[in-house]
Amino acid sequence: MSADQFKKTYLISGASRGIGRSISERLLAEGCRVVGIGRHFDSELSDHAGFEPAIIDLSQLDELPQHFAMLGKKFAVMDGVICAAGYGRFGSLEQFSQKQIRALIDLNLTSQILLARAFLPLLKKQGEGNLLFIGSEAALSGGRNGAVYCASKFGLRGFAQSLREECAASGVRVGIVNPGMVATEFFTDLDFRPGRAPDQHLTARDVADAVWLMLTTRQGAVIEEINLSPQKRVIEFGKQ
């Protein structure tokens, strides 16, 4: 398909799985073109006519400016950038090595700042567009064994709030979705997870629906922040 056959074009980080993948699938179903950043993609997603895979390791910060510059040249028009990449590591602060602290902050926060920095000039030049972040309930309140993870998400939320003020006059809309516990691969290597009942966890599609609402709000109106939670807060402990 040619570019003019798609309604909109969106760049999504963390597009290969979890929340980022669900957002990608939702946008593709709506007739949009998706440029997805990830380390690897399965054929179901990469072979979709509207999907453009961008194989990038966001943990390699020094390489990102070059990768993003190449994407900017390839896709001259971008209707929005959705920063959905991230992972979780939990424990008391003294259980983290310096390397682990750096890795968590680099991916969850610094790489998302660099991605926004790379494409914000394009969005501003167009005079419209969306810059959305996937935060966390951990950006709203600190929790036990979550100091480093919360720091990364508090930082992302503050970054989004500041950009919201910075970009208002440019026509670029900035927002953040802060989901509670979402039943995805996020918890595969962790020793806790949300409850299994439908009202005890969110689905990735719930978050994708919130993103779609933010994207489709009329131009001139902005949904700055959505805090999304399961009806009941239930946490199960132990390895799966």
* pLDDT tens column, 18-28: 999 999 999 99
Examine the pLDDT at 1 and tell me if it is beyond 50: no
Examine the pLDDT at 240 and tell me if it is beyond 80: no
Decide if 80 contacts 128 (C-beta within 8 A).
no
The topology under which CATH files domain 3-237 is Rossmann fold (3.40.50)
Please state, for a pLDDT cut of 90, what percent of the chain lies above it: 84
pTM confidence score = 0.93
What are the CA-CA distances from residue 78 to residues 71, 217, 239 (Å)? 10, 17, 41
Parse the chain into domains and list their residue ranges. Answer: 3-237
Terminal Cα distance for the chain, rounded: 42
What angle in degrees, to the nearest 10, is found between the helix axes of 64-74 and 111-126? Answer: 30
* pLDDT tens column, 87-132: 999 999 999 999 999 999 999 999 999 999 999 999 999 999 999 9
Examine the pLDDT at 192 and tell me if it is beyond 90: no
Examine the pLDDT at 189 and tell me if it is beyond 90: no
Examine the pLDDT at 2 and tell me if it is beyond 50: no
Task: Provide the pLDDT confidence category of residue 193 given band limits of 50, 70 and 90.
Answer: confident
The pLDDT, as a whole number, for residue 188 is 80
